[in-house]
Structure 1
């Protein structure tokens, strides 16, 4: 009888430890493999929705986004060693397309776009901050801290 109770207690503890693992991680969705035209259309649609572009602006933005997407595809198809060396070229190309977009947009649209870019940059920084570091122990939360004095 004692062996049965002891075996059951060990089994319960083992199952408890097994199910206590963190299961809050989200499953990663596979990224859609879009063509340059699809990425340009998606970016243009998003800008149209956020910035209320005119028809003329929409055409110009699509042309800029398509050009950017094709150049990024060309950069991605190169080998890894060449990619690191061309980082300055990629950055210069991105700045050029940003400048072209700023020439097309009105002042109000520029401020909206800058706010959107800043928000996206902050969000990306937060995502990168937590990547690959695992969970670190945090300081315990004290609900009633001792009084100072």
Structure 2
């Protein structure tokens, strides 16, 4: 009887842990956004980071909208030219970054470059949030610590 109850308790805990994560929070990037929504989100994020003026917001929104439309058009093309498409996307991204930097003030450019470097570093470290340490930098957990005495 004890084994049956223990087995059922373990099964319930396992199922609870398996379904505890909400799918909408895990894969927010998987949602389908229109180019206008993407441009609005990236403009709002830049406004939050760089404190843009109203004139800068409209110019940056237009740059982001052009970029989002180009990306959307490339995504809708056939899969056969994937490698060339990646190079084209990078070239478009660099061009729009250059346009964006022309709109920013020198102080905003410094903040923008620092933010880009921070995002690149986070991506390099596996997208982990927090301290910025990679998995190899973390010390292993000791399962049987010595008794304090």
TM-score by length of 1: 0.72
Whole-Å Cα distance in 1 between the matches of residues 53 and 10 of structure 2?
Answer: 59
Q: Which residue of 2 aligns with 1:23?
A: 17
Offset, 1:13:
2.6
Whole-Å Cα distance in 2 between the matches of residues 143 and 108 of structure 1?
Answer: 50
Residues 23-75 of structure 1: per-residue CA shift (max 9 Å, x gap): 17522216443221221122112211221112221121111101100000011
Q: Secondary structure at the match of 2:17?
A: coil
Larger Rg: 1
Taking only aligned residues, the RMSD between alpha carbons, in angstroms, comes to 2.6
Q: Against the structure 1 CA distance between its residues 76 and 106, is the aligned structure 2 distance closer, same or farther, given a 3 Å change threshold?
A: same
Q: Which residue of 1 aligns with 2:58?
A: 59
Q: Which runs of 5+ in 2 are unaligned?
A: 129-138
TM-score by length of 2: 0.72
Q: Which residue of 1 aligns with 2:145?
A: 143
Whole-Å Cα distance in 1 between the matches of residues 87 and 119 of structure 2?
Answer: 22
